[in-house]
Amino acid sequence: MLRHVTTYLEAIREAIREEMEADPDVFIMGEDIGAYGGAFRITEGLLAEFGPHRVIDTPISEAAIVGAAIGAAHMGLKPVCEMQFIDFIAPAFNVIVNFAAKVRYRTGAGAGLVIRGPCGAGVRAGPFHSQNVESYFANVPGLKMVAPATVRDAKGLLKAAIRDPDPVLFFEHKYLYRRLKDELPAGEEILTPLGKARTHREGADLTIVTYGAMVHTAHEAAERVAHEDGAEVEIIDLRSLQPLDAAAVLDSVRKTGRLLIVHEAPRFGGFGGELAAVACEGAFEWLDAPIRRVTARDTPVPYAAPLEDAHLPQVADIVSMAREQLNY
């Protein structure tokens, strides 16, 4: 089978293009996504291919973008909204959590839309363009959230999100856009179901649960632990945060007896707290060491490179905590 080398960014563009080709009800909207091709050039070329009625440049108002998308979804269309940076989802918070997330419960008709945008730090973009916002929305029933860590999942999860009948928040890590590459089969549809985690690395001594760009940081740490300590670390890539594949987490913890949670967002109130609760409720008697977390610091993301590096979880941080658990 023919294969083509694809970046994480290109996989997202491919998913959008394929869904627009397959379904005339799919359209995209956002700031500068048309002639300019998007802040990161993800939508480059789509205006020429599909025209201004399906590639819609909007005013600089995230609340208006999402509000219009909800209305379009109720008319049977399938909007995909771009936030130039996921940080800017904040102005749309009210309409997302108080309408989009609750409309199926209130009316029986869901709002099938996708809100996607670049999240995460590591690119020296400072406190207003580097956030991870998953914990803001994790407590809101009715929303689905995905955070792909691989090229294949960037494509497959976005296609699944576009087809989903309810609102999906799609967190794509900007650090991975052009750094991550993979060979994808040409002509084969890639569709990754929401709510299913993936075993990124097999192991029997310790479980690391993570998602997004931290999967790769954790992988590097696991390889170092294997080489220097002779211990095999299993890495569970959640892929979907809501719905959460709790069974995959619990199965791995029951196998290894140890759990280390890694995420890039700040520690306090972060998604890792929920993962720890899931493990305690479902696999406490299998634990041979306390659950630990490696996260970002509880500060805004610094701009200066040394400060940003100190703020973010690093390979050495994960290795140190993994050794503490393995030697407990």
Catalytic residues: 129
Look up residue 97 and give its DSSP letter. I
* Residue 325 amino acid letter: Q
> How far is CA 213 from each of CA 44, 105, 131, 160, rounded to the nearest angstrom?
24, 33, 13, 20
Determine the residue type at 59: P
53-56: long-range pairs with CB below 8 Å, 24+:
53/27, 54/20, 54/24, 54/26, 54/27, 54/28, 55/27, 55/28, 55/29, 56/27, 56/28, 56/29, 56/30
Element (H, E) at 17: helix 8-22
Residue by residue, DSSP assigns 187-224 as T------TT--EEEE--SSEEEEE-TTHHHHHHHHHHH
